[in-house]
Structure 1
């Protein structure tokens, strides 16, 4: 398989899995066991391609926030998006600099998939006990910010799943509203992560070794497939549960632990 075709496939995988609560990082790392490992810059930047898709999907909402910040409700929501991003940056940057993360190998990813799937089943049931709400509280802001850090430390957790279900457990239990807030927080989070990874690559003198053509192909593929996926997901969760995604995680994690596709 050529390098560009491999990059295209990885970009499609990223776009399909970034917003579904099944862990894009986990799927990319599993895929790279067969297709060859890629740099951290590659993996993070194609995630930014998927986040660009969110920017396009929510372009009207973003424009409303940008132009309507003088209105109390819009300003409050915008400040909460920035607050969640600030929590992620304040906690996540030291964690990254200290190297606190599990190894990106199959076994920890498999356990994260299984545990995350069980967590989703329980969390969705618990969240439904409260009255329906679309209100984003400051407790939810902090929890979403910390959930994003948690997903970075434990590959296979899923940033979207960790953040959405923390928000739902704390009262934001209208799924489309929880997804919107988490996805909008992901825009500055992932663009900042991509910028940081790019800066590291340049400072370490590794820019010349990066496959920039492959990265560009994967970025575009992730953007296109991410756009289609998130549009479908928002329609799906408006009237369906997250249960199929939870069982998919549990099943995939169990297969990996049994060593069927990739070994232990």
Structure 2
């Protein structure tokens, strides 16, 4: 892996991890388009740590509040929302893994993401009484968690599906976005821990130390920028602009899958 490739992959991971466009879907597309294999496991873990740093910086106040008040309603809602994805990841892992080479799955997933974003934005525009944390019910958290579980499939955006679920459930725009991004913390940590043993079993080749260092830094920087952009768009009620991107890319991927 060259330094330029590391920077590019880190930047793409940082952006697509938090923009509602599916990071896993874009990874599959890049692999088919460029004819490259999946990035080394060690590098993949490191760039995910980079995106984790971005979340910690962007939501440091929320994280400090959770640490100070670990038994708050917000914490319980996060725990409940994590359960569906954890169960799905454990029980259906072979199905999810098989889908990671499928352009068909990516194309359909992107179309679904676009639909979710559009529907949720329309419902949020009609919502008069938006829920804050105290009004949010545990069944709302379960609903968010279920949609997050579907984001294990490439093409279905984790941030897009969870923000959309929050808006559909009637959550305040700002709270829905904050909840979605903070919810990504246990997901990213879980994925990194799951891969950690295999990732570093053989160490990092000396010639790759710089690329492996700068890739995660790029992921952190672009991840933070993506978070800031999404928060602003959610507040302004313009998140659905990503619907058109997802639909266009999804259509291109499906045409590519069937006719090219």
TM-score, length-scaled by structure 2: 0.85
Given that residues 41 and 194 in structure 1 are in contact (C-alpha distance below 8 angstroms), is that contact kept between their aligned partners in structure 2? no
Distance 1:216 1:106, change over 3 A: farther
SS at 1:132 equivalent: coil
Runs of at least 5 residues in structure 1 that lack an aligned partner in the other structure: none
Q: What RMSD over aligned residues (CA atoms) do the two structures have, in Å?
A: 2.7
Q: Distance in 1 between matches of 2:185 and 2:75?
A: 12
Given that residues 117 and 246 in structure 1 are in contact (C-alpha distance below 8 angstroms), is that contact kept between their aligned partners in structure 2? yes
**Structural mapping, 1:121-136, within 5 Å:** 121-130=118-127, 131-134=129-132, 135-136=135-136
Q: Distance in 2 between matches of 1:140 and 1:259?
A: 37
Given that residues 41 and 199 in structure 2 are in contact (C-alpha distance below 8 angstroms), is that contact kept between their aligned partners in structure 1? no
**1:107-163 deviation per Cα after TM superposition (whole angstroms, max 9, x unaligned):** 3212211232123212322344443222432112212222222111x2010111111
Given that residues 6 and 35 in structure 1 are in contact (C-alpha distance below 8 angstroms), is that contact kept between their aligned partners in structure 2? no
User: How far apart are residue 9 of structure 1 and its match?
Assistant: 0.2
Given that residues 23 and 157 in structure 1 are in contact (C-alpha distance below 8 angstroms), is that contact kept between their aligned partners in structure 2? yes
SS at 1:166 equivalent: helix
- Which residue of structure 2 aligns with residue 162 of structure 1? 161
Given that residues 124 and 165 in structure 1 are in contact (C-alpha distance below 8 angstroms), is that contact kept between their aligned partners in structure 2? yes
Given that residues 151 and 161 in structure 2 are in contact (C-alpha distance below 8 angstroms), is that contact kept between their aligned partners in structure 1? yes
Q: Distance in 2 between matches of 1:156 and 1:23?
A: 5
- Which residue of structure 2 aligns with residue 63 of structure 1? 64
TM-score, length-scaled by structure 1: 0.84
Q: Distance in 2 between matches of 1:219 and 1:234?
A: 22
Runs of at least 5 residues in structure 2 that lack an aligned partner in the other structure: none
**Structural mapping, 1:72-87, within 5 Å:** 75-87=72-84
User: How far apart are residue 92 of structure 1 and its match?
Assistant: 1.8
User: How far apart are residue 54 of structure 1 and its match?
Assistant: 0.9
User: How far apart are residue 167 of structure 1 and its match?
Assistant: 1.9
**Structural mapping, 1:57-206, within 5 Å:** 57-69=58-70, 75-96=72-93, 98-101=94-97, 102-130=99-127, 131-134=129-132, 135-152=135-152, 154-172=153-171, 174-201=172-199
